[in-house]
Amino acid sequence: MENKNNLDLNNGEVAVVHEGTAKRGFFTRIIDSVYSFMDKTHNKIIVAVILLAFVLTVPLWADNYILQVAWNAMFYMLLALGCNIIVGFTGMVDLGFAAKFAVGAYTSGILVHTFGWNFWLTLPIVVIVGMIAAVLIGGPALRLRSDYLAIVTLGFGEIVRTVARNLEITGSASGLSGIKRPYIFGTQLTRIWMWYYLFVFLVFLFVVASNRVKDSRFGRGLAYVREDEDAARAMGVNVVKFKMWAFIVGTVMGAIAGAFYVMQMAAVSPNSFQFTQSSNILLAVVLGGMGKVPGVMAGAAFFSIFPEIFRSIGEYRMLFFGIALVLVMIFRPQGLWPERRRR
Amino acid sequence: MALMEVKELTMLFGGITAVDHLNFEVEEDSITALIGPNGAGKTATFNCLTGFYVPTSGEILYEGKSLVNVPPHKITDRGIIRTFQNVRLFNNLTVMENVMSGCHSISKKFVGSALLRTPSERREEAEIKRIAEEAMEYIGISDLRHEIAKSLPYGTQRRVEWARAIASKPKLLLLDEPAAGLNRQEKEDLVTLIRRFRNELGMTVFLIEHDMGMVMDVAEKIVVISFGTKIAEGTPKEVQDDPLVVEAYLGKDDDEEEAV
Amino acid sequence: MFSPGEIILQQTVNGLILGCFYALISLGYTMVYGIVRLLNFAHGDIYMVGAFVGFFVFGALAAITGTGWLSIILAMVAAMFLCGVLGFLIQRFAYRPLLDAPRLSLLITAIGVSLILQNAMMILTNGEFKFFNHSVNPRAGISLGNVTITWIQMVLLGITAVLLISLTWFVSKTIWGKAMRAISMDRPTCRLMGINVNTIIGITFFIGSALAAVAGVMACVYYGNVHYFMGYIMGMKAFTAAVIGGIGSIPGAMLGGLLLGLLEAGGTQVLGSSWKDVFAFGILIIMLIFKPTGLLGKTEVERM
């Protein structure tokens, strides 16, 4: 039964499967056994509790380096969850997600650093600026074919970086530094473990938001758009409006993540927003299975921790990474953890 | 007054005239069919009615108001729902989610209430689920609610599409070749179902089709077009006896049946 | 020192040369996009690989045929061939298995291929700038007042013109070119009509990659150095040029490339060179707002 189901589900990829049937077998079997394990509710709960316990206890045993890496993983999860709304839920291609967190980071950074605002008060401004940025990028591109969005987001990423490098207010090439860290209940957030917990909490909020979007009329509308734009239109979905709002929600999430990022780093510079960042975020979403929230989080964790683990192989790591990416796409194009539903 | 009036509808693609000054009406509570041989302009007409094409000239009135230049989703909001010739389900979603899409045009909640999950949003969600369940029950696919759409056989996918259409509680149901690809038994079920849509759910049904047998069975009024122009109009009996129709259409019917 | 007229002349020449690079590279984007609807992310890196192949072949030939034009042309031919083969192989092994998969998978694969090319070249060259020491005098040429149009510039313009004309002839007159255009309109039908779709797609990648390689070797000669990261921004702008010209349109890519080169040269003159990357994308966004199909692109008739 289980097996038959798989065959059916793979129907769409038949053409792809042919060439790789032999090599797929082993890989697929491992992943499928993980699925059937995770399908049982109590197994799911056990795994979730263990993971949560692990995540919450990291600061108790980890040194500062590991904590920094763990914090970075949380940060990547925030970005990937934001990007997931655009790419995973709606099926749009965004090649410049780093620009969205740059927008948030600079907005907050400048307001705190140059104008002496309280960080928490900058958040509403970050949201508004994020919305404006989303409308500016999405407005011209969303009405057109999806590839145009890809190139426009890519271009916007470069524009943001160049502008940041050239303006006085963004601190030019060296960026802003020595930004005063914010207070929470009278305590200044100076230690990495504080930031780690704050980011874990933010990830929790983003997950709740993602799940709420997913199980709503809005989120279903996005899924309809992703699956078949014409049919979505026929069912009464205003495709451009839904895409626009998915873009806005994703961008605002990215901007918020950026605002917190700049406060932890106490600095920001144009080099934090390279294309590599954008592509890593996109890949986390795609390899995580396009829309599946836990998958996307796993993808983000992988992409932030991976370079650290493979530091020893140094310059070869991105090469292997590229090769792995191509192989995964050829042999398992629906991502390592694809969206699937069971009873 | 007719529910929908098509006046002098003309649609050009480049230099080709797909629909040429077409006139017809769809009466309220009727089952009306538009038929014609392949390439007669049926699909082009259909896509004009549903807002997917903008006609070159002419007027389409629905409840006295124009549908020309109205985008498809707004047409759906006005109580008109369509199906697709080759079944266009949301492939990777479940049957339930597919049918819930029918409720899209009759519900309102958007981003804000989704993120805040307000009580009214939850009420609306419950209502959407209830309507979807009802629609699946009516079509008889309740058992399949958690199946992935693309894993279903073709005939069943069609049924899902009908459930999705009636979940929107339309006033006017537009069916694009609903019998295409169905076997004899499924076609008979379809005829029964179309009658029930009208009699029990109070929908007006308009279909385009080239399966003459089925149309003769179910339609009360038939409009026949060939090369984009109307060549006959009337009850199935009248149309069947019309020499023009026999010439343009029925003579080829046998070949086409086989082709399907 | 420079009169306004001279500045305009100088920037026109600069812009034209830049436009040649964009045109040659954007052709690969537009042809591939037209035929398989793929934003071939790795194409900019093919240009980079072409530059390196040119660099290495030139280095090997220097002892035999000298460091003048002969070696440059030979290096160019070698780069064209090798990159053509590389493009074909990438298509064969990375893209072909995915032609019927969701478009996003194909795009991600292209990003993966781009990473592979970039990092392989980085390892091979230790991430250093390599200097291309040819013996052609970079300043010699025809002087018009204070402006000199160098021989190098003229040769590059000439090579580009020859390639663009041959490509136009190939696409409009030969059977392969016609098959290419047919596939870009309707791939399944072409398959039914007995056109060997895979072969034609392979040829398309070969030609596109060979043209990018020419641009790569031209960059060696013109700028005098090569670097493993040179393909990224160039590729992006060339794609922008393809969109400006109308993606899928071959004359559009040529026009878009030259136009983008000229506009960028003009914009740099006015705004300063630190803004030059913004300029290209700014034009792109303005273009998408006012003429989304590009200058020579056709509106696609959507079929239901």
Architecture category of domain B1-79+172-260 in CATH:
3-Layer(aba) Sandwich (3.40)
Which value does ipTM take for this structure? Answer: 0.90
Q: What pLDDT sits at residue B253?
A: 47
Fold of B88-169: Rossmann fold (3.40.50)
**pLDDT band at residue C208, thresholds of 50, 70 and 90?**
very high
d(CA B237, CA B226): 19
Which of these ranges, A6-20, A54-68, C116-130, has the smallest mean pLDDT? A6-20
* Chain pair B-C, CB pairs under 8 angstroms: 6
Distance CA A152, CA C281 (A): 8
Would you say residue A87 has pLDDT above 60?
yes
Taken as a whole, chain A contains a residue count of 343
Q: Where are the beta strands (DSSP E) in C83-215?
A: 130-131, 141-144, 147-150
* Residue of A248, A220, A171, A210 whose CA lies nearest to A78: A210
Query: CA torsion, points C279, C285, C287, C290, in degrees to nearest 10?
Result: -140
Q: What is the pLDDT of residue A224?
A: 93
Check pLDDT > 70 for residue B179. Answer: yes
Structure token digits, residue A292: 């599946």
Band of residue A192 on the pLDDT scale cut at 50, 70, 90: confident
Whether C286 shows a pLDDT value over 80: the answer reads yes
Per-residue pLDDT tens for C188-203?
888 888 888 889 999 9
Digit-coded pLDDT (tens) for C19-55: 999 999 999 999 998 888 888 889 999 999 999 999 9
The domain ranges of chain C are 19-232
To the nearest 10°, report the CA torsion of C144, C147, C151, C156.
-120
pLDDT-based confidence at residue A183 (cuts at 50, 70, 90): confident
* Contacting residues for B196 by C-beta, under 8 A, at least 6 apart: none
Q: What is the DSSP letter of A64?
A: H
Higher model confidence: residue A34 or residue C58?
A: C58
Query: C35 vs chain B: nearest CA distance in angstroms?
Result: 23
Which of the two residues, A250 and B209, has the higher pLDDT score?
A250
B156's tokens: 């069943």
Q: Is the dihedral of CA A142, A144, A145, A151 positive or negative?
A: negative
Show the CA angle centred on residue A230, arms to residues A88 and B186, nearest 5°. 110
Say whether pLDDT at A287 is over 60: yes
Provide the shortest C-alpha distance from residue B59 to chain C (in Å). Answer: 22
* pLDDT the model gives residue A202: 94
If one counts every other C-beta atom within 10 angstroms of the C-beta of residue C193, the result is: 11
Q: How far is CA C58 from CA B204, C133, C134, in A?
A: 77, 9, 9
Of A215, A217, A237, the CB nearest to B73: A237
Is-contact C20 C217, C-beta < 8 A? no
Task: Give the model's confidence band at B257: pLDDT under 50 very low, under 70 low, under 90 confident, else very high.
Answer: very low
DSSP-based three-state secondary structure for B156: helix
- For A197, the token pair is 């917990």
Look at the alpha carbons of A309, A311, A312, A314 in this order and tell me if their dihedral is positive or negative: positive
Residue for token pair 């792109």: C284
Q: What residue in A sits closest to C107 (Cα-Cα)? A: A93
Other Cβ atoms less than 10 A from the Cβ of B204: the count is 23
Question: In terms of CA atoms, which chain A residue is nearest residue B91?
Answer: A227
The span from the CA of C37 to the CA of C29, in Å, is: 10
> Comparing C-alpha atoms, which of C85, C84, C108, C78 is closest to residue C95?
C108
CB contacts of A13 in chain C (<8 Å) are: 101
> What are the chain B neighbours of C304 within 8 Å (beta carbons)?
43, 47, 52, 84-85
> What is the pairing mode between strands B31-35 and A183-184?
unpaired
Token pair recorded at residue C91: 């298509």
Work out whether the CA dihedral B147, B153, B155, B157 comes out positive or negative. positive
DSSP letter at B61 equals E
CB atoms closer than 10 angstroms to residue C84: 23
Residue C94 to residue A326, Cβ atoms within 8 A: yes
